[in-house]
Amino acid sequence: MSDFSFRELECFLAVAEELSFTMAAKRLHLAQPPLSRHIRQLEEKLGVSLFHRTRRSVSVTDAGEAFREEAREILARVRRAGEAARRAAEGETEQLRIGFVSAVLSQEMVGVFSRFRESFPEIRLDLRDRLPSEQLRGLADGELDVGFIGVAPEKPPRDVITKSWMRESLMAFIPPHHRLSDRKTVSLSTLSGESFVAISSEAAQAYSSLVRNLCSEEGFQPRIVQEASRAQAVAAMSVTGSGIAILPASLHRLTGNGIPLRLSGNRKATVEYSVAARQTSGPGALSFIEQVGESS
């Protein structure tokens, strides 16, 4: 089998993600005939069909699915190698691209950054505000080295490892003038039948599932009337009376209407946060998550 080219891999991934030769060509700023030629050459080199093609649709074959993950990793590694070479040529130090959710930026997280900088002053931290779903994609694609992803998913992307690092209390964000707004604490079970506003599952699937599971354990399913991708927006919705929100206590500083949330048996409602990295990340990323565990 002949070696395949970087461009052939780019073309394959674009078609596999767009499921359209036309859209893939547009994305790559390439005419469709050479795109098709690259795909055909790649299939000939591999000796397999990567796509099922009809006049109206394109789908990835089983062989294509198996090849996609490896192809994505190859491209990510080549891009990281190029970036490392550029930094070395310009005299820059190693950098870690770290995703975090600004809504839950806390003193604990800032402390992690500060301690790491003291231990590894030669490594520059490049912080990027990303939704949990964006962080997981960034880790899988090699665009991020580390991610403070919030609640860990049940099935992380391939090659992504997670590590718990801290817990935070959950609060019920009650609209002003609501019958429960003057409570010192509120039981989750008393919120059955109320209208809820929530973080969308597309933005933070694991957190959304956590809230739904907590409600289910208390005997009801939340009636969600409005969603947003950012926790800050959900907190603001609660203030404007759109509904009740279940959010981390750190959001209380923004709106002031959060009330400590209790579960059955007078248990405190909490959320556990995780940090994630790729198993194939460099030593800097792995040192970072090891230090997070030690300092949390």
Mark which of 63, 87, 111 sits at the end of a domain: 87
Mark which of 87, 111, 129 sits at the end of a domain: 87
Query: CA angle at residue 32 from 31 to 38, to 5 degrees?
Result: 100
Could you tell me the CATH number of the domain that includes residue 44?
1.10.10.10
pTM above 0.75, yes or no: no
User: What integer pLDDT is reported at residue 103 of this predicted model?
Assistant: 77
Same domain, 126 and 144: yes
User: What integer pLDDT is reported at residue 142 of this predicted model?
Assistant: 86
User: What integer pLDDT is reported at residue 210 of this predicted model?
Assistant: 96
Residue 177 lies in a domain: yes
Q: Please tell me what DSSP assigns to residue 146.
A: E
Residue 288 lies in a domain: yes
Mark which of 54, 87, 120 sits at the end of a domain: 87
Same domain, 18 and 157: no
> How many whole angstroms separate alpha carbon 156 and alpha carbon 137?
10
Query: How far does Cα 137 stand from its chain's mean position?
Result: 6
User: Which residues of the chain have a pLDDT value below 70?
Assistant: 1-2, 80, 83-93, 293-296
Domain count, the chain: 3
Same domain, 186 and 234: yes
Same domain, 103 and 79: no
Residue 21 lies in a domain: yes
Residue 1 lies in a domain: no
Same domain, 142 and 215: no
Q: Please tell me what DSSP assigns to residue 175.
A: P
User: What integer pLDDT is reported at residue 179 of this predicted model?
Assistant: 95
Alpha-carbon dihedral of residues 87, 90, 92, 98, nearest 10 degrees? -40
Same domain, 242 and 207: yes
User: What integer pLDDT is reported at residue 294 of this predicted model?
Assistant: 54
Closest CA to 194 of 226, 228, 236, 217: 226
User: What integer pLDDT is reported at residue 107 of this predicted model?
Assistant: 83
Same domain, 197 and 251: yes
**Pair 171, 259: CB distance under 8 Å:** yes
Residue-number span of the structural domain to which 289 is assigned: 93-166+273-295
* Number of continuous H segments (helices) and E segments (strands) in the chain: 10, 13
Residue 252 lies in a domain: yes
Same domain, 251 and 266: yes
Could you tell me the CATH number of the domain that includes residue 173?
3.40.190.290
Same domain, 128 and 222: no
> How many whole angstroms separate alpha carbon 126 and alpha carbon 101?
14
Same domain, 108 and 200: no
Same domain, 124 and 257: no
Same domain, 176 and 219: yes
Q: What is the CB-side half-sphere exposure of residue 139 using CA atoms within 13 A?
A: 28
